[in-house]
Amino acid sequence: MRLVRRVPAGRRAVTRLALGVSVVDEFLFDGLEWWELIDPADDDEQPAAALVAVRPGETIVRLVGLVAPGGRTDLAVQVLISLVDALRAGPARRLVAAPLAHGEELLQAAGFGPFDDGSFAVEL
């Protein structure tokens, strides 16, 4: 059972490193909130399985990165589905991802699709 929680300040570096997240977008958004998908049974050194970002007060969440063994698309899809399930317990209404970064096929397998506004997303 995985859950989504706000990234504790002390884990930001670990999370970023594990996911290879580009930090340049932090240049754009003041107060961006970072949320991570974790297994509560794991210890604090274990990187998150996925990371999302949300602007304060918004209900659209952005997929920043996810961790899955190389080539294991099936596991990546499982992570994404877990992420969607966990996010559904919160106030977020839509999870947006970047097909160019994460792979359109992978995202489609997890239920993502194109929206009218040009985004590639899944309703929560």
Partner 1 sequence: MTASTGGQAWAAQILTRPVPRSLPAAGGEQPPFRAELSSRSHVTFVRSPGSDVGPRPVHTPLTGHNLFLDLDLDLGGSGVDGVTLRSLTADEIGTGPLLADGTSFAMPRSPDLILSPDLEPVAGRAVDAFEPLEIPQYEVLLLRGVPPQARPARDAYGRRLRPAPAGGTGRVVMAVVTDEPDVLHWRLIAEVSQGGRTWRLAWDLAVTARPVMRKFVPGGNGPVDVPVHERFPQHWVPRWPAASVPLPRGGDDPVRLPAVRQVGRVVAADGALTVTVDECEVPQDPDGFPGLPAGSRLWVYSSAGLASVGLTEVTAAVLRTGDAPQDPVHSELVDLIIGMYSAALHQGWRFAVGDVLGFPRPMVIGRAEVAGALIAHAAGDAAWFPAGWPPLLLVLLFEGEREVAGPHGRGRVLGSLAAAQGCFPYPWWFDPDRAPVVDLARYEGSTILGDVATAVHESVLVLDGPGEVAMIVDGGQRAAIAGIWQQVPPRFALIPRYTTMTGRVRVWTPGQSEPREVVAGRPCSRDQAGVHFLLFIQGGDAVTVDQLEDGYVVGLPERDWHAMGAHLRSGAGREWVSSGGTRLKLLFSGG
SS3 per-residue string spanning the chain: CCEEEECCHHHHHHHHHHHCCCCHHHHCCCCCEEEEEECCCCCCCCCCCEEEEECCCCCEEEEEEECCCCCCHHHHHHHHHHHHHHHCCCCCCEEEECHHHHCHHHHHHCCCEECCCCCEEEEC
Stretch touching partner 1 by CB under 8 A, among 1-9, 41-49, 66-74, 116-124: 116-124
**Please, what is the end-to-end C-alpha distance for the chain in angstroms?**
18
Closer residue to partner 1 (CB): 9 or 28: 28
Closer residue to partner 1 (CB): 24 or 41: 24
CB atoms within 10 A of CB 66: 23
| Interaction between residue 13 and partner 1 (CB under 8 A) | no
Stretch touching partner 1 by CB under 8 A, among 3-11, 33-41, 60-68, 71-79: 60-68
Closer residue to partner 1 (CB): 2 or 102: 102
| Interaction between residue 78 and partner 1 (CB under 8 A) | no
Size of the site for partner 1 (CB under 8 A): 27
| Interaction between residue 24 and partner 1 (CB under 8 A) | yes
| Interaction between residue 31 and partner 1 (CB under 8 A) | yes
| Interaction between residue 121 and partner 1 (CB under 8 A) | yes
